[in-house]
Copies of this chain bind each other. A is one copy, B any other.
Amino acid sequence: MIKASVIGGTGYAGQELIRILMRHPEVEIVTVGSRSYAGQKFSDIYGNYENIMNHVCEVADIKELAEKSDVVFLALPHGIASKMVTEEILMQTKIIDLGADFRLKDIDIYEDWYNTEHHNKSLLKEAVYGLCELHRDDIRDARLIANPGCYTTCSILSLAPLVKNDLIDINSIIIDAKSGVTGAGRGMVQTSMYSECNESIKAYKIGEHRHTPEIEQELGLFNGKNFNLLFTPHLVPMNRGILALSYATLTKSIAINELQELYKDFYKDEYFVRLTGDRMPETRWVKGSNYCDIGLKIDTRTNHVVIVGAIDNLIKGAAGQAVQNMNIVFDLDEKTGIDFIADFPI
């Protein structure tokens, strides 16, 4: 059994992670760390664990956890993990960080977009970007994995085959993404109150969201170029799910079935990427699952390609992919414990 601990277990991503780990056949949860709820039973915070789990939240000392855990998951606001993780800790345990601290390779870009100093430049190089479908081999041997952001996962998987095959003008990319409210986290802010976001939709941080450079970095790996894209997120009145529409100008004429074949080929070994053919993805078909659904559309009137991607932001966009990374690291079947069929209607 893999001994796993979670630091930051009481946020939405942390809780989803614990739910998955609790039913993972090869995992035993050692410690649930939570500064805000230290001393409280996890099942008192989240009533779904009543009778199921007896863990009490602790103020976790990562050094102690490293000693008694095979893997430690971090689900923390940015700026904390980079202070916590050290060489010493990595000699004792694997770290899978669901936060942003180790995702961006260029420290200037990190400090610019996150408006804070990075505390751990040396480990930044070692950290592997944990988008399983693209970096599986590096993940296998990694000690420190930077689990990708939710918008990021959906956007990169949507665009990777096109960028790799040089079919689009890289400078024309516009991503218009929509997320459910859990994406804003569990922190109390006015804009996340029920009556403030119910029955309304808004765009926010247009061109300024921190997932932008993450997408640019990963797509840039395919063509070696620096480039900028325009990323716009929206808040949608639903609990879960991300739908991202990526628009780009085609540089070559290509038929829709050719394009579909190209994607099929690119993802032929990927269990968690589903190409939906002529039916466009909807978040309801992935919610509660680790799948990323992708649909393709060519608009010949304007010479654009539109890629529709859908994921569950808390699963493939956070906790599910974190466990997928763990499965890779510990050499388990990659879908162990995360092979969910989306529950519907839920």
Q: Are B199 and A284 in contact (CB under 8 A)?
A: yes
**Residue A83 at the chain B interface, CB threshold 8 Å:** no
Interface centre among A52, A180, A198 (most CB of B within 10 A): A198
Contacts of A73 in B (CB 8 A): none
Q: Mark A1-42, 1 if CB is under 8 A from B, else 0.
A: 000000000001001100100110000000000000000000
**Residue A223 at the chain B interface, CB threshold 8 Å:** no
Which single member of B186, B236, B280 contacts A206 (CB below 8 Å)? B280
Q: Are B280 and A203 in contact (CB under 8 A)?
A: yes
**Residue A201 at the chain B interface, CB threshold 8 Å:** yes
Closest to A176 in B: B176
A40 to B193, CA, bound (A): 21
Contact A304 B274, CB 8 Å, known A200-B241, A201-B241 = no
**Residue A239 at the chain B interface, CB threshold 8 Å:** yes
Contact A287 B200, CB 8 Å, known A174-B174, A228-B301, A299-B206 = yes
Chain A interface size range:
35 or more
**Residue A167 at the chain B interface, CB threshold 8 Å:** no
A287 to B245, CA, bound (A): 25
Closest to A302 in B: B230
Contacts of A308 in B (CB 8 A): 203, 206
Near B by CB (< 8 A), chain A positions 220-237 give 228-230, 232, 234, 236-237
Q: Are B194 and A339 in contact (CB under 8 A)?
A: no
Q: Mark A159-174, 1 if CB is under 8 A from B, else 0.
A: 0000000000001001
Q: Are A274 and B174 in contact (CB under 8 A)?
A: no
Q: Are B52 and A341 in contact (CB under 8 A)?
A: yes
**Residue A217 at the chain B interface, CB threshold 8 Å:** no
Can you pick out 19 interface pairs between chain A and chain B where the beta carbons lie within 8 Å of each other?
Answer: A19-B341, A47-B282, A171-B302, A174-B247, A182-B345, A188-B189, A194-B237, A201-B236, A201-B282, A202-B284, A207-B297, A228-B301, A228-B302, A230-B247, A230-B301, A236-B237, A240-B346, A288-B288, A343-B343
